[in-house]
Amino acid sequence: MLPPLCASDLLFGFLCSSSLISLGFLRKREREREERMTMFHFFNCAILTFGPHAVYYSATPLSEYDTLGTSVKAALVYLGTALVKLVCLATFLKVSENDSFDPYQELLKALIGFIDVAGLYFALTQLTHRNISQNHKFQAVGLGWAFADSVLHRLAPLWVGARGLEFTWDYMLQGIEANANLVLSISLAALGSLMWLRKNKPRTLIPIIYACAGIVATMPSITSYLRRSLGWHFPEVVGFELFTSLVMAFISWQLFAACQRPSS
Amino acid sequence: MAPRKAGERDMLESFYSIIALVFILVACVELCDAATVVDVYRLIQYDISGVPFGSRLAALNHHAGSLHFAPGADLSRTVVIIPVRELNMSFVKEYIVQRQPLGGLLFLLPQMFNFDNRDGMGIYHQNHGKELLHNVMVELEQLLIHANIPYPVYFAFEDSDIDAVLADINKNDAIGQPATATTGGFKFVVSAPEPKKLASPTITNIQGWLPGLKTDGDASQLPTIAIVASYDTFGAAPALSVGSDSNGSGIVALLEIARLFSLLYSNPKTRGRYNLLFGLTSGGPYNYNGTQKWLRSLDQRLRESIDYAICLNSIGSWDNELWIHVSKPPENAYIKQIFEGFSNVAEELGFKVGLKHKKINISNPRVAWEHEQFSRLRVTAATLSELFTAPELMERTGGFVDSRHFVNETAIIRSIKLVAESLARHVYGHQGKNIQIFSDKSSLAVNPSYIQLWLDLLSRTPRVAPFLSKNDPLVMALKKELEDHTNEVNVQHELLDGMFTFYDLTKARLNIYQVASVTFDLLLLLVLGSYLIVLFSFLVITTRGLDELFSLFRRPPSRKVKTA
């Protein structure tokens, strides 16, 4: 059995080595016991945010079939999608003075959010993958997608904020959110592969598949509605995300299993 | 296919290099996310002939504690935060005088003493509470100035942020241990460089000259009368030493007298036959070093023409008695004449003036009153002051206790009337006659708004001489004011006596962080580690089956079994 942790080892080693390199850039007077302690908290939050991705890769058969290439390609597609979304948001969205929930703006944001779905479609269908089964393809794509999302949105705040002396729970909550996001991305990728890659699906299940995909795709709008309009705080929003992601994962697993039965 | 693969590999490499670049860039970001940032003022650090005094350190990076610590606890890595209202002098004496190890001290002063706080000015709290606080603070200041403290000592003003922090610290200490992980404690951080010696501190003397009326027949020089006040202060917190009474009241009085006499002297018909010399001297707390240097620099003939000099020192908070301090014996004719003039005017104005004699000891370098510097050069001089006893070195030099609240404008106005009338009667030869030159309804009345304006300004300006540069705004303002009232103004820059050495860094910013304890971090690591292990096992079991999980523990795996 090939050591399954080779790819995740690489990732971890890269993270740790870059942290150590950047330690060398810190000025002399900050090299105290306290500095090591604040790096400790950063390390804790980092393993909560990025650990599950590595664990997922190594624990499931993905590592055996060496699907790292697929994940990396999916991550790149995510970065491209994020860029396109940024440009669209900058062009079409007006900057609002207050923090209230404007339905028209939110609708626009949701529409732009569907570019995500388009990106996922591109990653699932257009990229040439080696001979991997559909089962593993959607997992690899979902994993790469979620990892790129975490790195883009959570790494910089973590690096700048978690190393400070001041302690807040924010970064732990962000890590839990990253976990929920991973589950959601994989479920979305599963539903996406069901929609676009599987040709013969039971008739009755098709609307359910599309409905679930729609819910998962509009999760960002739902969370922003909760935060702005209903005034929920960060811990409550993260709890909601976690709960929904588990529910959605369960539903998409059942749907996937149901669609798998007739073809086999 | 192959060129496409090469392109993909290039893309991957550039991707990784971009990530590395981002890491390196972000590493240089300065961390500055404290919960609270407070302005703090450092205790003064100075040497007298090489003997160190004051707080010798500036940088601070320790946990905070309050006065409610367990007895016998080790405080060498703790900053103790003490509100002055609840000051326990025995604790302070024990730790400072007996040189017990401590991480640092932070004193919280009531907002009343904050000269920046506009609302605080003019609010008079209960009188007896103020008195008690005043005495405690005077004692504290004297203790701190004369001690050699090997850790940082800072002063801050009470406000809502720091009061909340103090309440939390008190609560934690009362429980006996730092509380839960999230309220593990507070860390006080002041990032400051090592304090450096101030190279060649300058003291600046400002003199104004109002010449008298010289008729054609006068061959010799007209006699001169000098009015002198020292304008600098010294205190435990140099950034807070505004010295409203010592000697803000003296400066204000001198400026007002200069203004009144400039009105009189502007018209040749009312110009007196005496020259008037106004001197604003620096270096007062350091044995009137500046006065000595100023007198030595004066032309000898001018010095010999001085009939007498009046020095003003702390005339802002007295009720009905002032003192004239002299060094020549009271039987001396000149002294008698001066004293009679003053006491007559005082009687008319409704208060008493007493005479006090203190002999000078030439061998003792200590100069308690400003007039002693004149007397050492054989010029007749006296100091007008509300103080009965001569202050010791570094005592009553305008520290943070000496704030605007303790100064009474009416007292200053009465002192000005006393000096101006006595001077005028001497200059115009009206001794003994009951004439009021500066009466209240005339154009020569003492101007209360002028006094209030200057007193307010001086009560907001810290004036410790080594920290005043040559072109300091206050020095320039005083010079300009004297230029308005007198004919000729000279500014003299001197070096402070080498016996005194000062160190810089008087203000800093204190960052207060709320930190979690190490055990919390370890606990979190444990929890996260077990979460990841559980996740790993769960995924292995669901995707590959339970057997796979057990096979992972049978290392090394036999390859033969797999390939077969």
Token digits of residue B85:
């209202």
* Chain A environment of B562 (Cβ under 8 Å): 1
* Chain A environment of B29 (Cβ under 8 Å): 159-160
Query: Given the structure tokens 């444990």, which residue do they identify?
Result: B526
ipTM for the assembly: 0.79
Domain annotation covers residue B484: yes
Amino acid at B523: L
Q: Read off the pTM.
A: 0.75
**Positive or negative: CA dihedral B286, B292, B297, B298:** positive
- Interchain proximity A165–B513, CB inside 8 Å: yes
**Distance (Å) from the C-alpha of residue A35 to the closest C-alpha of chain B?**
11
Average pLDDT over residues B235-262: 93
Task: Find, in chain B, the residue whose alpha carbon is nearest to that of A62.
Answer: B543
Domain annotation covers residue B417: yes
Quote the crossing angle between the two packed helices B448-458 and B250-266, to the nearest 10°. Answer: 140
Higher pLDDT, B325 or A201: B325
- Interchain proximity B532–A72, CB inside 8 Å: no
Instruction: Count up the domains in chain B and report the number.
Output: 3
Q: Which site among A34, A55, A179 would you substitute to test the B interface, given the most B Cβ atoms closer than 10 Å to its Cβ?
A: A55
Q: Which site among A79, A166, A173, A174 would you substitute to test the B interface, given the most B Cβ atoms closer than 10 Å to its Cβ?
A: A166
Same domain, B546 and B468: no
Lowest average pLDDT, out of B330-334, B482-486, B487-491, goes to: B330-334
Does the pLDDT of residue B317 top 50, yes or no? Answer: yes
- Interchain proximity B182–A169, CB inside 8 Å: yes
DSSP label of A248:
H
Same domain, B311 and B429: yes
pLDDT of residue B369: 93
Tell me how far apart the alpha carbons of residues B202 and B466 are, in angstroms, rounded to a whole number: 6
- Interchain proximity B26–A167, CB inside 8 Å: no
Residues B258-277: tens digit of each pLDDT? 999 999 999 999 998 999 99
**Positive or negative: CA dihedral A61, A8, B539, A138:** negative
Q: Does A22 touch chain B (CB under 8 A)?
A: yes
Show Cβ contacts of residue B280 under 8 Å, excluding neighbours closer than 6 positions.
B205, B206, B207, B228, B229, B230, B231, B251, B254, B478, B482
On the 0-12 / 13-18 / 19+ scale of CB atoms within 10 A, A20 is exposed
Does the pLDDT of residue A248 top 80, yes or no? Answer: yes
Which of the four pLDDT bands, split at 50, 70 and 90, describes residue A28? very low
Q: Evaluate whether B482 touches B280 at the Cβ level (below 8 Å).
A: yes
Q: Which residues pair with B357 in a beta bridge?
A: B326
Before B434, cis peptide (omega within 30)?
Answer: no
Lowest average pLDDT, out of A228-237, B13-22, B554-563, goes to: B554-563
Show Cβ contacts of residue A191 under 8 Å, excluding neighbours closer than 6 positions.
A209, A212, A213, A216, A252, A255
* Chain B environment of A58 (Cβ under 8 Å): 536
Of B168, B137, B135, the C-alpha closest to B65 is: B168
Of B162, B155, B158, the C-alpha closest to B43 is: B155
Same domain, B258 and B191: no
Tell me how far apart the alpha carbons of residues A227 and A243 are, in angstroms, rounded to a whole number: 16
Same domain, B311 and B408: yes
Same domain, B168 and B218: no
Does the pLDDT of residue B559 top 80, yes or no? Answer: no
pLDDT of residue A30: 39
Average pLDDT over residues B296-308: 92
Q: Does A44 touch chain B (CB under 8 A)?
A: yes
**Distance (Å) from the C-alpha of residue A165 to the closest C-alpha of chain B?**
6
Same domain, B169 and B255: no
Does the pLDDT of residue B384 top 90, yes or no? Answer: yes
The secondary structure of A84-141, three-state, reads HHHHHHHHHCCCCCCCCCCHHHHHHHHHHHHHHHHHHHHHHHHCCCCCCCHHHHHHHH
Residues B415-431: tens digit of each pLDDT? 999 999 999 999 988 77
Tell me how far apart the alpha carbons of residues A244 and B526 are, in angstroms, rounded to a whole number: 27
Lowest average pLDDT, out of A70-74, B5-9, B21-25, B258-262, goes to: B21-25
Three-state secondary-structure class, residue B123: coil
- Interchain proximity A166–B24, CB inside 8 Å: no
Higher pLDDT, A131 or A141: A141
Domain annotation covers residue A181: yes
DSSP label of B406:
G
Q: Evaluate whether B176 touches B70 at the Cβ level (below 8 Å).
A: yes
Residues B89-142: tens digit of each pLDDT? 888 888 888 888 888 999 999 888 887 765 544 444 445 577 888 888 899 999
Q: Does A13 touch chain B (CB under 8 A)?
A: no
At residue A175's C-alpha, the angle toward residues A170 and A180, to 5°, is 120
Q: Which domain holds residue A234?
A: 36-260
Across the interface, which of B22, B24, B33 has its CB nearest the CB of A166? B33
Domain annotation covers residue B435: yes
- Which CATH number characterizes residue B265's domain? 3.40.630.10
Average pLDDT over residues B359-386: 92
Residues A134-174: tens digit of each pLDDT? 778 888 888 999 999 999 999 988 888 877 777 788 888 99
pLDDT of residue B24: 56
Task: Find, in chain B, the residue whose alpha carbon is nearest to that of A157.
Answer: B26
Query: Given the structure tokens 């061998």, which residue do they identify?
Result: B363
* Chain B environment of A44 (Cβ under 8 Å): 521, 524-525, 528
DSSP label of B268:
G
Same domain, B407 and B447: yes
Helix (H) / strand (E) containing B203: strand B202-210
Domain annotation covers residue A166: yes
Q: Which site among B10, B194, B536 would you substitute to test the A interface, given the most A Cβ atoms closer than 10 Å to its Cβ?
A: B536
Q: Evaluate whether B406 touches B317 at the Cβ level (below 8 Å).
A: yes
Domain annotation covers residue A64: yes
Please count the other Cβ atoms lying within 10 Å of the Cβ belonging to residue B168. 17
Domain annotation covers residue A201: yes
Same domain, B188 and B206: no
On the 0-12 / 13-18 / 19+ scale of CB atoms within 10 A, A122 is middle
Q: Which site among A18, A128, A130, A165 would you substitute to test the B interface, given the most B Cβ atoms closer than 10 Å to its Cβ?
A: A165
Q: What value does the mean pLDDT of chain B take? A: 85
Domain annotation covers residue B260: yes
Does the pLDDT of residue B530 top 90, yes or no? Answer: yes
**Distance (Å) from the C-alpha of residue B360 to the closest C-alpha of chain A?**
53
Q: Does A163 touch chain B (CB under 8 A)?
A: yes
pLDDT of residue A38: 73
Q: Which domain holds residue B237?
A: 202-495
Token digits of residue B151:
């850790």
- Interchain proximity B23–A55, CB inside 8 Å: no
Which of the four pLDDT bands, split at 50, 70 and 90, describes residue A36? low
Which of the four pLDDT bands, split at 50, 70 and 90, describes residue B542? confident
Helix (H) / strand (E) containing B208: strand B202-210
Domain annotation covers residue B225: yes
How does DSSP assign B279-333, residue by residue? EEE--TTTTTHHHHHHHHHS-HHHHHHEEEEEEEE--SS-SSEEEEEESS-TTSH
Average pLDDT over residues B281-299: 93
* Chain B environment of A52 (Cβ under 8 Å): 532, 535
Q: Evaluate whether A213 touches A192 at the Cβ level (below 8 Å).
A: yes
For A252-259, the CB contacts below 8 A with 24+ separation are: A252/A187, A252/A190, A252/A191, A252/A194, A252/A212, A253/A190, A255/A190, A255/A191, A255/A194, A255/A205, A255/A208, A255/A209, A255/A212, A256/A190, A256/A194, A258/A202, A258/A205, A259/A194, A259/A198, A259/A201, A259/A202, A259/A205
pLDDT of residue A51: 92
pLDDT of residue B323: 94
pLDDT of residue B155: 94
Domain annotation covers residue B369: yes
Please count the other Cβ atoms lying within 10 Å of the Cβ belonging to residue A115. 15
- Give the rounded percent of residues in chain A with a pLDDT score beyond 90: 14
- Interchain proximity B31–A163, CB inside 8 Å: yes
Q: Which of A152-156, B66-70, B397-401 has the highest mean pLDDT?
A: A152-156
Measure CA B157 to chain center: 13
Same domain, B314 and B337: yes
**Distance (Å) from the C-alpha of residue B158 to the closest C-alpha of chain A?**
22
Higher pLDDT, B225 or B199: B225
pLDDT of residue A101: 62
Backbone phi and psi for residue B40, each to the nearest 5 degrees, phi listed first: -125, 155
pLDDT of residue B96: 84
Q: Does A32 touch chain B (CB under 8 A)?
A: yes
Higher pLDDT, B113 or B307: B307
Please count the other Cβ atoms lying within 10 Å of the Cβ belonging to residue B486. 21
Instruction: Count up the domains in chain A and report the number.
Output: 1
Domain annotation covers residue B558: no
- Give the rounded percent of residues in chain A with a pLDDT score beyond 70: 81
Same domain, B121 and B243: no
Same domain, B154 and B233: no
Domain annotation covers residue B328: yes
Domain annotation covers residue A193: yes
Same domain, B141 and B222: no
pLDDT of residue B379: 93
Please count the other Cβ atoms lying within 10 Å of the Cβ belonging to residue B546. 11
- Interchain proximity B31–A164, CB inside 8 Å: yes
Query: Given the structure tokens 């003792």, which residue do they identify?
Result: B364
Tell me how far apart the alpha carbons of residues A148 and A153 are, in angstroms, rounded to a whole number: 8
Per DSSP bridges, beta strands B352-357 and B51-55 are unpaired
pLDDT of residue A108: 78
Per DSSP bridges, beta strands B104-109 and B153-157 are parallel
Residues A49-58: tens digit of each pLDDT? 999 999 988 8
pLDDT of residue A264: 43
* Chain B environment of A246 (Cβ under 8 Å): none
Q: Which residues pair with B154 in a beta bridge?
A: B42, B106
